[in-house]
Amino acid sequence: MPKIGSSFWSGLWRLADPKISITSIAAMLVGASVAWREDSLSWYWLLLTGLAFFAMEVAKNAWGDIYDFDSGTDLAVKPADRTDFSGGKRVLVDELLTRQQTWGIAFAFGLLGVLLGVLIVVFKAPAAIWIGLVGLVLGWSYHGPPLQMAYRGLGELDVVLCYGPLLCLATYVIQTNSYSIEVLLMSLPLGVLIAAFLWVNEFPDFDADAANGKHNLVVHLGKTRASRLLPLFYLAVAILCLVMPWITAVGFETYLSLVFVIPGLLASYWVWQQPLDFYRHKPAQPMALLSFVLYSLGIAVAALLQGPVI
């Protein structure tokens, strides 16, 4: 059995990837803020929810790294195209972990996530079982067979569903044991914004993905055409934000969420201007992530400003 040394912990740290886990926390914040407004928030169950999401995130990153390594996509990413937000976790490419260790991490953290989910369903929110099962299927199917959605032009849809409605609703359902149309509506912009983040991240991997059968939508469209579509993501979210006071119980405070527009416009401009290699010169990827986080913060603050509604 391979000795566990510093490379193992470095590999595990990459798979945990705190900067990407921010997306799960941001999505949870929306569901939790509405639960708090309804005076239904339990910090204990919120912590367990966060641990379950984090465990599944690590597991997903681990098995995803294996499948991307086996397909050749991670191996084909050129050094000049590597960024902190794309190109996979590269634990196998950089020989930080063995295949056995990576599968072991995937299994251990996946089992932990499932066990925490069972605990939540049995002792707090039976209604969460359905959303949990859907989340498991989508989480596996982004990279895993038989669907391998990331390779069939469906990865963007997978991410929209998981990091928008599913995480937001799951957080709310676990707190209240009920579903909410309001939370669903408030989560839709998150889904679109995380799709925009993924969209930007697919540009650096374009050549490697295209050469190894990972036919995401940016590969299908080509970099130039894909760059022209990016502003439409942010336009769609802006429209949703503007109508939010009329379709949810949260009032005009929801306009605080429009702060997402600033980094979103910057990311769109840089990608539009240099679709072939913007990621080598401009921080469009972190700006796209910041846009996602700022929307979450804005909508959560809007809910909190209204105070508890009993």
* pLDDT band for position 262 (cuts 50, 70, 90): very high
Integer Cα distance of 122 and 151 in angstroms = 35
How would you label 166-193 residue by residue, b for 16+ Cβ within 10 Å and e otherwise? bbbbbbbbbbbeeebebbebbbbbbbbb
Average model confidence (pLDDT) across the chain? 92
- Span 50-55, mean pLDDT? 95
Closest to 269 (Cα-Cα) out of 227, 235, 238, 302: 227
With 80 as the cut, is the pLDDT of residue 71 above it?
yes
Q: What is the mean pLDDT of residues 41-63?
A: 95
How many Å apart are CA 68 and CA 307, to the nearest integer?
Answer: 46
For residue range 209-224, list pLDDT tens digits in order.
999 999 999 999 999 9
Answer for the pair 224, 275: CB distance below 8 angstroms, yes or no.
Answer: yes
Q: What is the pLDDT of residue 1?
A: 44
Which domains are present in the chain? 9-304 (1.10.600)
Give dist(CA 66, CA 62) in Å, integer.
7
pTM of the model: 0.92
What pLDDT sits at residue 121? 96
252 neighbors 185 (Cβ within 8 angstroms): no
53-57, 81-85, 208-212, 284-288 — which is least confidently predicted?
81-85
Using the predicted structure, report yes or no on whether residue 191 has a pLDDT greater than 90.
Answer: yes
Tell me the pLDDT tens digit for each residue of 121-131. Answer: 999 999 999 99
**Chain segment 133-159, per-residue pLDDT in tens:** 999 999 999 999 999 999 999 999 999
pLDDT score of 309: 57
Give the model's pLDDT for residue 2.
Answer: 47
Which is more confident, 21 or 194? 194
Of the listed ranges 17-31, 220-234, 273-287, the least confidently predicted one is 17-31
Please tell me the predicted confidence (pLDDT) of residue 308.
Answer: 65
Angle between helices 223-247 and 181-201 (to 10 degrees): 160
Asked if residue 204 lies in contact with residue 279, where contact means CB atoms within 8 angstroms, the answer is: yes
DSSP annotation of 204 reads: T
Residue 310 pLDDT greater than 70, yes or no: no
Classify residue 2 as exposed, middle or buried by CB count within 10 Å of its CB (0-12, 13-18, 19+): exposed
Task: Kindly provide the residue ranges of all beta strands, DSSP E only, lying in 226-288, ordered along the sequence.
Answer: none
Question: 261, 271, 301, 265: which is closest to 204 by C-alpha?
Answer: 271
